Every structure is written in C-alpha cells, then in structure tokens.
Amino acid sequence: MKIPTLYTERLALREMTNDDCDSIFALRSNESVAAFQEQPLQGNMEQALAFIEKINAGVANNAWIFWALTLKETDELIGTICLWNYSENLRIILHL
C-alpha cells in the first residue's frame, strides 16, 4: 500500500525511508523519548534500519499506516505516528 503524504501548515507526514535512519536512531536511542515507547532503546544504526524495514513491510501488508513527521520546509524528521487496527472505512477515506 502506498500511504498518502499529508501536509499541515508546518509539517509533512510522509512515508519513512532508509534516508531517515540517522533520525530514527537518534529518536529511538533517546531515553526521554523511550519513556513513551514500549520498546527498548536501540543500540546501533542496524537496529534503526531494521525498524524502518519492519515498519515499511507492515505498511505494504496493510497491517498499519505509519508516517514520518517532518518539518515541511526542511524535511527534518521530528517524530513518527502510526494508525493500526483501523477499519475498512478509514482505508476508503484515505483511498488506500
């Protein structure tokens, strides 16, 4: 499934790519961020890349919708957001 890129005045919500590996590692190895996640801290870049690959495989298999949250002007990744366990109605609304 190809997820749509969504825009707000300040942000872009887009598909995550391997180019986001550095930013994902920075987020997922940060103890302050990890306090809000149910996963252990990531210890290396290979784990960050494996996370991106897992996320994109789930998107491709319609298991979830996962966006990279980026600043629209710079494409700097500042976070992520996921929808899962969603109904067919949402899929129709988003034209997936």
**CATH number reported for the structural domain that contains residue 66 in this entry:** 3.40.630.30
Predicted TM-score of the model (pTM): 0.80
Range of 76's domain? Answer: 6-93
Counting the structural domains of the chain, the total is: 1
In a domain, 1, yes or no: no
| pLDDT tens by residue, 31-51 | 888 788 777 888 899 999 999
User: Which backbone phi and psi does 57 adopt, to 5 degrees?
Assistant: -65, -40
Residue 39, in any domain of the structure: yes
Residues contacting 58, CB < 8 A, separation 6+: 64, 66
* Portion of the chain with pLDDT greater than 70, in percent: 86
CA-closest candidate to residue 15, choices 74, 46, 57: 57
- CA–CA dist 57, 44 (Å, integer): 20
**Structural domain contains residue 51:** yes
